[in-house]
Amino acid sequence: MEELATGGFVGKFGLDLRLLIAQLVNFAIVLFVLSRFVFRPLLETMRKRSERIAKGLQEAEAAQREKEAVKAWELSERKRIQEEARVLLTRAEVEARTRRDALLQKAEEDAKAMHDRAAADAARMHDDALSRAKEDVGTLAVDVAERVLSKKLSSTDRSAYLQESLKEVEQVAKGSA
């Protein structure tokens, strides 16, 4: 110990104890000043930056989760809308087929009714024409008989008269047909 006090041990290494103590005090002061005015604000700034980064990461994760939730909702809505559209389209197709079938059936019924009326009208017209033709033929026959009976005809006249009567009957038949 005596060596320390006299500078023996310290002196061997070329150290001055007063200078060493002064340097230790200076180091402590610099350490205190740095700690107080540099390290604390620096650590505080780094802590705040870390908090902001952590908060930003949390917000980014929340935004990502929200984005995924919106994407999932959008997908489910799209599927729901497509399903609704498919159901509406199916209903519309069924309704269109039903209406088409009803219209076709009504058109067929109307066409059949028109055909039946036309057939009945044609049959009635045919019957009327036959009836008129029979009346006309009967009238002509009576007229011919009256003419023949009222005149005595030669065979040439008879032949000409018969030809003329036949032409008249044919004209009446053509006119009523």
What DSSP character marks residue 57?
H
Contacts of 168 (CB under 8 A, 6+ apart): 140
Domain around 20: 2-176
The pLDDT, as a whole number, for residue 1 is: 44
Residues 148/161, Cβ–Cβ less than 8 Å: yes
Residues 176/132, Cβ–Cβ less than 8 Å: yes
Structure tokens at 50: 């870390």
Distances (CA, A) of 11 to 15, 25, 53, 108: 6, 20, 54, 133
The pLDDT, as a whole number, for residue 151 is: 63
Q: Whole-prediction pTM value?
A: 0.40
Q: Report the number of distinct structural domains present in the chain.
A: 1
Rg for the chain, CA atoms, rounded: 65
Provide φ and ψ at 99, rounded to 5°: -65, -45
> Which residue type occupies 67?
K
Q: How many CB atoms lie within 10 A of CB 5?
A: 10
> Which residue type occupies 72?
A
The pLDDT, as a whole number, for residue 142 is: 66
pLDDT block averages, 10 residues each, the chain of length 177 = 53 83 95 90 94 95 95 95 94 94 93 92 88 75 68 72 80 72
